[in-house]
Structure 1
Amino acid sequence: MIELHKAGYSYGQDAILRDVSLQLAPGSFHFLTGPSGAGKSTLLKLCYGDLLANTGTVKLLGQDARDLSRDALAKVRQRIGVVHQDCQFLDHLSITQNVALPLAVSGRDVEAEAENLAQLLAWVGLSPRAHALPPELSGGERQRAALARAIIMGPDVILADEPTGNVDWEMSQRLLSLLVELNKMGKTVLIATHDLGLIRAAKAQVSARVLRLAGGSVQLAGADL
C-alpha cells in the first residue's frame, strides 16, 4: 500500500530521516515508536504525501509520490485516512458536519450518505454527541470524532499520529479496539506512539509489527516490547 525505499527528509541542514525503507502491506498493522523529536510525524507525512522525500522514493498505493499531480494526490489521499495528533475541527460546525467534511470536499452527496454517517458515529460511540460543537467535547470524544472523520471515505490505509496521547488509559484502550477492528476488516494501520503499554496491549489482540525510529532510521523493535 505504501512503500519507502531509502527515503530521507531534511529541514534545512538538519537530516530528520535517513535511508528509511519500509513497506506497509495490505491488511498489516504497524506501530512506529521512538522518542519525541525522532521524526515520527515527519515519516507519517511522507506516507500520505504531505511532504516529499528529499532523497530516495516514496510510493503511495503503487505511485511515486513525486509524479503525482495535485488532483492525483487528492485521489490517493481519499484512500489514506489520517488521525492527526492535534485533532483540529471547525468549531462552528457540529461533530456530524465535521466528520462529513471529507465527503463534501470530494463532491459526494452528504445527504445521501446520512445513514452511513449515522452508523459511523454510532460505531465510535458518538451518537449522543452528534449535534455537539467541538469545544463541547472531551479529549476522548474528540479523538473518536477524528477517527470517524479519517475513515468516512472508506480508506484502505489508516495513519494515526499519537491518537492516545491526550486521553486516559481506558479511552486509549477504546481507541485501540476501534483501530484493531478496522485492521480485522482488512485495513492497513500504522500508529505512531511512544506509549509502550498501548503496544503491549495491542499485541495481545492483533499481529502487530513494531518499528523503532531513532537517529533518523527505522529498525524492527525487539521482542522485549
Structure 2
Amino acid sequence: MIEMQDVSFGYHVGSELLTGMTLSLQPGMFHFLTGPSGSGKTTLLRLCYADLLPSSGQLKVFDQDVTELGRDEIAMLRRRVGVVHQDTQFLDHLPVAENVALPLSVAGQGVDIDAMRDLLGWVQLAAQARSYPPSLSGGERQRAALARAVILSPDVVLADEPTGNLDWEMSMRLMQLLIELNKSGKTVLVATHDLNLIRATKAQVSARVLRIAGGTLHLAGADL
C-alpha cells in the first residue's frame, strides 16, 4: 500500500532530515513509529500521504509513484488514507457531527445519517454529536478526530502522537479503537514516543515497531 525505497527528505536544500528510508506497509499490518522529538516522525507520516514529496528515492502509494501524480490525482489518493493529526484541527463554529463529516463534503458526498450515528456511537460520542469542539475533553477530541479520519472508509490509517495529551485510560481507549480498525483489515501506523503504550498494545495485536534514529529507519528490537 505504501512503499518507500531509499527515500530521503529535507526541508532545506543540502540538509536532509531523513535519509535512505525503506518501508513497506502492506494490507492489514499494524506498525508503531517511534523516535525522539524532532527525529522526523511527523515528516515520515506526511510523506506517507503525499503531503510532502521525497527529495530522492521512490515513494509509491497504492502502486502509484507520487512524484508522477498531479494535484487532483494526489487528492483522490488521499481519500484512501485517514490521518489523525497531533492538532485535531476542528472548526470550532461547527458541531462535532459536522466536523466529522467534513471529508464527505470535500469529496462531494452526502451524509448518511444512520452511518454517522453508528460512527459516533463507535467512538462513544453519540451524545456529543451537536456539541461544539471547545466543550470536548482531550480524549473526546481525539476520538472525534479518529471518526473524521475513517469516515471515508480509508485503507490506511495514520495517527500522529494521538495519545500525547491523554491519560492512560483514555490512551488505551483510543488504542482499542485503532486495534479494532486493524482487525477489520485496515493498515495502521501510529507515531508515538510512549513505549509503555506500545507494549500494552502489542499484547493485543501483532505489531511491528519502527524507530527513527540518526535520520534513518530501523526495525526496533523484540524487547519493546
Counterpart residue type for residue 3 of structure 2:
E
CA-to-partner distance for each residue in 1:107-157, whole Å, 9 max, x for gaps?
Answer: 0012xx111111000000000111000001000000000000000000000
Q: What corresponds to 2:223 in structure 1?
A: 224
- Once superposed, what is the RMSD of the aligned Cα atoms? 0.6
Q: What corresponds to 2:139 in structure 1?
A: 140
Q: What corresponds to 2:51 in structure 1?
A: 50
CA distance in 2, matches of 1:50, 1:56: 16
CA distance in 1, matches of 2:37, 2:49: 21
CA distance in 1, matches of 2:63, 2:144: 29
Counterpart residue type for residue 212 of structure 1:
R
Counterpart residue type for residue 2 of structure 1:
I
Q: What corresponds to 1:97 in structure 2?
A: 98
Please show how residues 1-225 of structure 1 align to structure 2 within 5 Å. Answer: 1-12=1-12, 13-110=14-111, 113-225=112-224
Indicate the larger mover: 33-42 or 65-74.
Answer: 65-74
> How far apart are 1:224 and its partner, in Å?
1.1
> How far apart are 1:57 and its partner, in Å?
1.0
CA distance in 2, matches of 1:179, 1:129: 21
SS in 2 for 1:76: helix
> How far apart are 1:11 and its partner, in Å?
1.6
CA distance in 1, matches of 2:192, 2:41: 8
CA distance in 2, matches of 1:115, 1:14: 50
CA-to-partner distance for each residue in 1:37-80, whole Å, 9 max, x for gaps?
Answer: 00000000000000000010110111001111111111111100
SS in 2 for 1:15: coil
CA-to-partner distance for each residue in 1:159-201, whole Å, 9 max, x for gaps?
Answer: 0000000110000000000000000000000000000011001
SS in 1 for 2:109: coil
Matched residues, percent identical? 63
CA distance in 1, matches of 2:30, 2:39: 21
> How far apart are 1:97 and its partner, in Å?
0.1
Counterpart residue type for residue 150 of structure 2:
I
Counterpart residue type for residue 107 of structure 1:
G
SS in 2 for 1:53: coil
Counterpart residue type for residue 69 of structure 1:
G
CA distance in 2, matches of 1:114, 1:47: 31
> How far apart are 1:14 and its partner, in Å?
2.5
In the comparison of the two structures, how many residue pairs are matched? 223
Structure 2: 5+ residue runs without aligned partners? Answer: none
Counterpart residue type for residue 198 of structure 1:
L
User: TM-score if structure 1 supplies the norm length?
Assistant: 0.98
CA distance in 1, matches of 2:110, 2:210: 39
CA distance in 2, matches of 1:193, 1:3: 21
Counterpart residue type for residue 53 of structure 2:
L
